[in-house]
Chains A and B, each alone.
Chain A
Amino acid sequence: MEHALDITLTVNGTRVQHRVEPREHLIDFLREKLGLTGSHVGCEHGVCGACTLRVDGQIVRGCLMLAVQANGCRVDTVEGLSDSKELAKLQKAFHEKNALQCGFCTPGMLLAAQDLVLKNKKFTREEIRQHISGNYCRCTGYQAIVDAIEEVVNG
């Protein structure tokens, strides 16, 4: 721990203080130090989107951000947004439309989709596809995921 630094951040509404190595990614910090394993780790180089988180209200890649960079930030994960019921509509739609099979991509997919929901306007299927193009799903072929998101954003 030769380069370790103290960080303070707010995770899902709770203030958290920890000593971390600069090399530690935010996603690993959340999963391993805080036990928040809802967000997944896939490719570890920003391609797959499984680690999508919300930092200060904006979606980011949890594997492309260091925990030290989140010092002073507000971090929301799939756990917090489930507990607050913010994701409830999307989760229901994903369930009903069969928009997941193995579920590995789902936490990241929900965070990316919620980013569209918060824009409070209608989107075409093409725009939805474009928005989730940074989130890979290897099971569904995306059709059902687009169906589920479309139902929530377009009512």
Chain B
Amino acid sequence: MKAPSFAYAKPASLAEALELLARPGAKVLAGGQSLIPSLNMRLSSPELLVDITGLQGLSEIKASNGAVRIGALVTHAQLEQSPEVKKHLPLLAQAVPHVAHTAIRNRGTLGGSLALADPAAEYPAVAVALEAVFEITSKTSIRRVDAANFFKGLFETDLKAGELLTAVEFPVAKPADRSVFVELARRNGDYAIVGLAAHNDRFVFLGAGDRPVQFSFKSNLEEAKANLKAILKPPADLYNTSATKLHLAGVLLERAWNTR
């Protein structure tokens, strides 16, 4: 289908962008790889799209003081090719190739994926597993929110009207840290049926709830699996029942456990 009618603006400065975003019916357009399909399917009908891709300083990956700061406009392709991500954020580096396909990775952004908060997407789970900190900018302030407190529900985040996610800070992995990202999808690049971002004792599932679902398992695998079965209640999707997803979550837990 074709998108409904809307106005379009491409501000050159953050201040101008925030001004435009304060207008009723305004929505952020970054890479557009989730927003444009939803417009095409008429699931979304904004009055104004504010294209933030002209803003300076949001497309950089910088490592300093034990953290890697990634601008909201950094694309999946940039993450995939970044030596800093490969060196300091092995969990994120493992997750990126699972995000859609090359043509989509060339345009889709880290900030867009996180701000959308699709529960089946890779980055929200990775951000929670790595205890990333989100930088949120508004006209009057810049505030920082922990990943675990950012995701509030199905496509729901802590972002308020007039706020923009501008960067994410990931702590640099230490030599002793163990990171594993695994997911199961029907085809390469599809949304995961269920996935798992594991970092040391922290296991964060995607596609298993209305937001990333976090566990801390310190005991042995059998206990962890029993625990998972008792607590995780994954929602069924078009093709998989809740029981199937729960089983697959157990499979991933075992795979991650044995490769950590």
User: Which A positions have Cβ atoms within 8 angstroms of B?
Assistant: 2-3, 5, 21-23, 25, 28, 44-46, 49, 52, 58-61, 63-66, 68-69, 71, 112, 115, 129-131, 133-135
Knowing A59-B102, A59-B103, A130-B188, say if A65 contacts B32 (CB, 8 Å). yes
Using CB atoms, name the residue of chain A closest to B77: A58
Counting CB contacts under 8 A, is B3 at the interface? Answer: yes
Interface majority SS (helix, strand, loop, mixed), chain B:
loop
A-B contact pairs, 15 of them (CB 8 A): A2-B5, A22-B7, A23-B6, A45-B37, A58-B77, A60-B106, A61-B104, A63-B40, A64-B36, A66-B32, A68-B8, A112-B102, A131-B102, A133-B187, A133-B189
B130 in the interface (beta carbon within 8 A): no
In the assembled complex, the CB of B91 is this many whole angstroms from the nearest CB of chain A, namely 20
Cα A52 to Cα B33 with chains together (Å):
13
B26-57 vs A, Cβ < 8 Å mask (1 yes, 0 no)? 00010011001101110000000101010000
Cβ contact within 8 Å between B4 and A23? yes
Q: Is the CB of B33 within 8 A of A64?
A: yes
> Is B188's CB under 8 angstroms from A112's CB?
no
A69-B187 in contact (CB<8A): no
Output the least CB separation between B73 and chain A (Å).
Answer: 13
The answer to whether A66 touches B8 (Cβ under 8 A) is yes
Given A64-B36, A64-B107, verify A22-B41 contact (CB < 8 Å).
no
Assembled-state Cα–Cα distance A44/B53 (Å)? 22
Complex interface: chain A residues within 8 A of B53 (CB) = 69
**Could you tell me if B107 and A60 are in contact, using CB atoms closer than 8 angstroms?**
yes
Residues of chain B having any CB pair with chain A under 8 Å: 1-8, 10, 29, 32-33, 36-37, 39-41, 49, 51, 53, 77, 100-104, 106-107, 187-189
- Residue of B with least CB distance to A3: B7
Min Cβ gap A125→B in Å is 13
A19–B3 Cα gap in the complex (Å)? 17
Report the bound CA distance from A2 to B48 in whole Å.
Answer: 12
Main secondary structure of the interface of A (DSSP, over half): mixed
Known A44-B1, A46-B37, A133-B188; contact A64-B32, beta-carbon cutoff 8 A: yes
Pairwise interchain contact A22-B36, C-beta atoms closer than 8 A:
no
Chain A nearest Cβ from B71, distance in angstroms: 18
Q: Is the CB of A134 within 8 A of B189?
A: yes
Indicate the member of A3, A49, A115 with the most B CB atoms within 10 Å. A3
State the Cβ distance, B143 to closest chain A Cβ, in Å. Answer: 29
Q: Is the beta-carbon distance between A23 and B5 smaller than 8 angstroms? A: yes
With A21-B5, A23-B4, A64-B33 in contact, do A44 and B104 touch (Cβ < 8 Å)?
no
Return chain B residues, CB-CB under 8 Å to A63.
36, 40
Residue in B1, B101, B106 with the greatest tally of chain A CB atoms within 10 Å: B101
Contact B5 A133 (CB under 8 A): no
How far, in angstroms, from A36 to B100 measured CA to CA in the complex? 27
Distance of A26 Cα from B33 Cα, bound (Å) = 13
Do A69 and B32 touch (CB < 8 A)? yes
- The answer to whether A52 and B103 touch (CB under 8 A), given A45-B37, A46-B33, A66-B32, is yes
A134 close to B103 (CB less than 8 A): yes
Interchain CB contact under 8 A, B103 and A25: no
Q: Which residues of B contact A5 (CB under 8 A)?
A: 8
Q: Which of A21, A44, A71, A112 contacts B40 (CB 8 A)?
A: A44
